[in-house]
Amino acid sequence: MQIKTRATRPIEGQKPGTSGLRKTTEVFSRPDFLQNYVQAIFNTIEPAGRTYIVGGDGRYFNDIAIAKILRMAAANGVKKIIVGRGGLLSTPAASHLIRKYGTDGGFILSASHNPGGPKGDFGLKYNTETGGPAAEAITDAIHAETQTLTEYHIAQEDAPEITEEGTFTLGNMTIEVVDPVADYADLMETLIDFDAIRDLISRGFTLRFDAMHAVTGPYAVEILERRLGAKHGSVVNRRPSPDFGGGHPDPNPVWAKDLVDHMMVPDGPDFGAASDGDGDRNMIMGQGIYVTPSDSLAVIAANAHLAPGYADGIAGIARSMPTSAAADRVAEALGIAAHQTPTGWKFFGTLLDAGQVTICGEESAGTGSSHVREKDGLWAVLLWLNIIAARGQSVQQIMEDHWGRFGRTYYSRHDYEAVDSDIAGTIMDDLRAALETLPGKSFAGLTVTEARDFDYTDPVDGSTATSQGIILGFEGGARAVLRLSGTGTQGATIRLYLENHEKPTGNLRQDPQKALERVARAADQIADLEKRTGRSAPDVVT
């Protein structure tokens, strides 16, 4: 194998965020941008003689990037790469393959729920041998490398086609092309009661799964239709496309409106779900009802023991700080620990590795368990189906029972998108500066009881993360959280998270936005959001 060594220089903007490096496709395809970042990863992880998983969500540039990564891996002495056929692997499936085959880590190509295509976004994330995203110490080291490296190494010859399963070579490196679905589907069979779901479906239970033209299509067809017997066509938008059919593969009521429309009619399917670009997020619906991700986490935690993989109970629950406290109420009832972590799945890793928690979730439609080290969209869907089959109840009945037992935590997230970065920064700085002055003051008729920045110390490894979001507590238990997104690619996104708990004896049937109106107004008055962002309302309400 001929190796080319090419000169490169530091390239701006290669600081990885909460989910690896995410940029517009245009930036990612600039000369040497990808190569610079991949070489920086290789310089950090010492890849000679090692084995890695590679795969992505199939978005535009996936194939080109994988071919370059294969050539660079060979030139950097990697022993073996296991890659999904056609370059496809959902993020949870990639995490599973790293763990199942005991590889040294993996490269996941995705910008998650962000649109794809030449005008969309692209991303690359390095996961370690645990199957989870690399810790900050590693991503910081990678970033430092991007700023100092002077050359990268790439095999002269082309990478082999990866459209068929089989074993290939590139120089001294072995490339094994595997079925992206089979191992993952087998894992699901060990955790979930497939017989019970098959039986439910054979008795006429109907479902609609919207793959949003993204990576979960082939997974959902194999599992829901072939293995569980759902009617052909239950999985819609099932063919992964490089630009996600021109859509925005983010499973929430705004971007998955088509699913919502199908579920909100009286003769709609019994169960509806969707997943995002790379298959780690989920949206859960029943006929006539949308389940918020925070509620979904709580229901999954309260009922996980009904699935074979969790029959002995769960060790603990972790949620990101902005996620609602609904799951904490379940943890309390089960007598297990409830952890609050900063936003981003990587913070769950140490707790999962230490066996301190079994179920984790984020308000941003991510739920998962100790079976992999990423959130897992289809897993959440299957666990819900398992719970429905075991309880013999509809989604609506399950939610009403849950709220009747734990109360209902009304919840919503308001996003102000593509805000000028300086303005967004000043809003947060000013808020931080005013924190001490807020307790005792009243806004929109609500008195502030607590105002603080969220600082976190990992209970397992003692690492710390500071300034992770501003928490505003109000009398009566309502809460608002403000933080800046770490995954946006245009300007800054300000996220305002709102919640208000209603006791089991209270009004459990309010419209969530109505139930949260006062706390929303209070937060807006405190941060002066609408005026300073120049918006009369948030851009996205979920």
User: Which residues would be at the binding site for Zn ion (CB under 5 A)?
Assistant: 112, 276, 278, 280-281
Shortest approach of ligand G1P to residue 224 CB, angstroms? 23
485 near ligand G1P, rule: CB under 6 A: yes
Shortest approach of Zn ion to residue 399 CB, angstroms? 25
Shortest approach of ligand G1P to residue 213 CB, angstroms? 19
Q: Please tell me the number of Cα atoms within 13 Å of 149 on its side-chain side.
A: 28
**Smaller CB separation from Zn ion, 270 or 278:** 278
Q: Looking only at residues 437 through 466 of this chain, which bind ligand G1P when binding is defined by CB under 6 A?
A: none
Angle at 534 between CA 528 and CA 540, to 5 degrees: 90
345 near ligand G1P, rule: CB under 6 A: yes
Q: Which residue's CB comes closest to ligand G1P?
A: 485
Angle at 421 between CA 15 and CA 283, to 5 degrees: 75
In 39-104, beta strands by DSSP E:
51-56, 80-88
**Smaller CB separation from Zn ion, 43 or 275:** 275
d(CA 201, CA 472): 45
**Smaller CB separation from ligand G1P, 86 or 344:** 344
Q: Is the dihedral of CA 124, 125, 131, 132 positive or negative?
A: negative
Shortest approach of Zn ion to residue 275 CB, angstroms? 8
276's contact among Zn ion, ligand G1P, none, with CB below 5 to 8 A by partner kind, is Zn ion
112 near ligand G1P, rule: CB under 6 A: yes
d(CA 252, CA 248): 10
18 near ligand G1P, rule: CB under 6 A: yes
**Smaller CB separation from Zn ion, 145 or 276:** 276
d(CA 272, CA 262): 8
Please report, in angstroms and rounded to a whole number, the separation of the first and last CA atoms in the chain: 52
468 near ligand G1P, rule: CB under 6 A: no
Judge whether 412 counts as a catalytic residue: no
**Smaller CB separation from Zn ion, 132 or 268:** 132
**Smaller CB separation from ligand G1P, 40 or 321:** 321
Residues in the interface with ligand G1P (CB under 6 A) total 14
Catalytic residue among 19, 95, 112, 485: 112
95 near ligand G1P, rule: CB under 6 A: no
Of 254, 246, 248, 296, the closest CA to residue 271 belongs to 296
d(CA 434, CA 421): 20
Shortest approach of ligand G1P to residue 142 CB, angstroms? 18
Residues 151, 7 contacting (CB under 8 angstroms): yes
**Smaller CB separation from ligand G1P, 58 or 344:** 344
86's contact among Zn ion, ligand G1P, none, with CB below 5 to 8 A by partner kind, is none
91 near ligand G1P, rule: CB under 6 A: no
236-244, 251-259, 349-357, 479-487 -> range binding ligand G1P (CB under 6 A):
479-487
| 214 secondary structure, DSSP code | S
CA 506 remoteness from chain centre: 32
Beta strands at 21-24 and 121-128: parallel, antiparallel or unpaired: antiparallel
Out of 128, 294, 340, 487, which residue is the one contacting ligand G1P (CB under 6 A)?
487
Kindly list the distances between the CA atom of residue 201 and the CA atoms of 45, 217, 282, 305, in Å, as whole numbers in the listed order: 47, 19, 21, 21
**Smaller CB separation from ligand G1P, 96 or 483:** 483
Q: Which residue's CB comes closest to Zn ion?
A: 112
486's contact among ligand G1P, Zn ion, none, with CB below 5 to 8 A by partner kind, is ligand G1P
19 near ligand G1P, rule: CB under 6 A: yes
The answer for residues whose C-beta is within 8 angstroms of residue 41's C-beta and 6 or more apart is 107, 126, 142, 145
161-169, 440-448, 467-475, 484-492 -> range binding ligand G1P (CB under 6 A):
484-492
Structure tokens at 78: 């990697």
364 near ligand G1P, rule: CB under 6 A: yes
Q: Looking only at residues 314 through 343 of this chain, which bind ligand G1P when binding is defined by CB under 6 A?
A: 320, 343
Decide: residue 264, CB within 10 A, 0-12 exposed, 13-18 middle, 19+ buried: middle
Q: Is the dihedral of CA 324, 326, 327, 332 positive or negative?
A: positive
Rg of the chain (C-alpha set): 23
Shortest approach of Zn ion to residue 107 CB, angstroms? 16
Angle at 26 between CA 422 and CA 258, to 5 degrees: 85
Active site residues: 112
The residue ranges that bind ligand G1P (CB under 6 A) are 18-19, 112, 320, 343-345, 362, 364, 366, 485-487, 495
